[in-house]
């Protein structure tokens, strides 16, 4: 039936797509957008080696930390010596981006829009065709100089919204309507922003509280991806979000009690556990 998109106003549009689980059918591709969960990145990196040309570019719009490094490990190291000489660190085969556009998966190929957000892309000439395609599709695109700023800005938002909505089983906007939940959301945003500053990251916003409140308001009707995962009993990205914040904080001798408790609770919710070296913290 193609992909069906339900707009915020309830209208539905259908798009015909071609889908495959065989990367060989995509061989020779010049561009790829990586949208999978963080825990699936390693698998996808291997598949992309069979899809992309040697100078092909993969754009990650994923949540959490570490996705770019995982993709680079597979794609940059698999390129021929000739290609590597032409591709510097500034023009890696992996480009960074982030997305705050909300969406809820209603079923296979059936998606409901959850509020307009922004797709931010690092400035990279090689991204030209993808930028043009996304703009022509009506997405709100902005270009930024600092890719790490993108990822940490999204991490501030994700760490503050996703675990709380998953634990409370509410839509994003309800966080603003519940005073205690709202305070927890704001405190989580501040906590993660403090770790970003310790990493010398210049966030894409001056006020983390204002930023997270703005995203929650714009995506008020959205069911967060983490809540969607919890409801269907699927693995979440909590390790790459709150877990990544906790582990990064350790490098600086800093504590992140709010991210830690969210990490532990989400893991416990699905019957998971932390790796041995994280226990007792």
Predicted local distance difference test score (pLDDT) of residue 78: 61
Tens digits of residue pLDDT in 209-240: 999 999 999 889 889 999 999 999 999 999 99
H/E segment holding residue 231? helix 225-231
Which residues are paired to 104 by β-bridges? 112
The least confident of 1-5, 144-148, 187-191 is 144-148
189 Rama class: left (phi>0) / alpha (psi -120 to 50) / beta: alpha
The least confident of 91-95, 136-140, 170-174 is 91-95
DSSP string, 54-83: EEEEEEE--SSSSHHHHHHHHHHHHS-HHH
pLDDT surpassing 80 at residue 208: yes
pLDDT surpassing 90 at residue 91: no
pLDDT band at 280 (very low <50, low <70, confident <90, very high): very low
Alpha helices, H only, 115-178: 128-136, 147-168, 174-177
Two tokens, residue 69: 């490094």
pLDDT band at 101 (very low <50, low <70, confident <90, very high): confident
Residue with the larger pLDDT of the pair 142 and 193: 193
Average pLDDT over residues 123-150: 90
**Whole-number average pLDDT of the chain:** 89
The least confident of 41-45, 81-85, 227-231 is 81-85
DSSP-derived secondary structure letter, 25:
G
Tens digits of residue pLDDT in 236-268: 999 999 999 999 999 999 999 999 999 999 999
Taking CA atoms, 199 is separated from 46, 113, 251, in Å, by 30, 34, 9
């Amino acid at each position: 039936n193609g992909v069906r998109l339900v707009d915020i106003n309830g209208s539905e549009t259908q798009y015909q797509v071609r889908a495959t689980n065989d990367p060989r059918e995509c061989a020779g591709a010049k561009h790829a957008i990586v949208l999978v969960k963080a825990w699936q990145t390693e698998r996808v990196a291997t598949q992309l080696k069979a899809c992309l040309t040697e100078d092909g570019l993969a754009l990650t719009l994923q949540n959490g930390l570490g996705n770019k490094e995982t993709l680079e490990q597979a794609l940059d190291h698999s390129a021929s010596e000739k290609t590597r000489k032409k591709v510097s660190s500034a023009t890696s085969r992996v480009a960074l981006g982030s997305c705050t556009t909300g969406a809820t998966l209603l079923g296979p190929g059936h998606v409901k829009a959850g509020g307009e957000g922004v797709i931010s892309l690092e400035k990279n000439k090689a991204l030209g065709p993808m930028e043009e395609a996304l703009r022509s599709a009506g997405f709100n695109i902005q270009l930024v100089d600092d890719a790490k700023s993108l990822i940490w800005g999204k991490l501030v938002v994700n760490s503050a919204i996703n675990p709380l909505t998953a634990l409370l089983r509410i839509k994003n906007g309800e966080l603003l309507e519940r005073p205690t939940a709202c305070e927890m959301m704001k405190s989580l945003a501040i906590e993660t922003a403090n770790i970003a500053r310790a990493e010398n990251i210049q966030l894409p916003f001056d006020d983390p509280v204002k930023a997270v409140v703005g995203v929650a308001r714009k995506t008020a009707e959205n069911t967060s991806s983490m809540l969607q995962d919890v409801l269907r009993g699927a693995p979440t990205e909590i390790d790459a979000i709150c877990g990544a914040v906790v582990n990064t904080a350790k490098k600086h001798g800093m504590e992140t009690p709010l991210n830690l408790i969210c990490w532990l609770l989400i893991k416990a919710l699905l019957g998971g556990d932390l790796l041995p070296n994280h226990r007792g913290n």
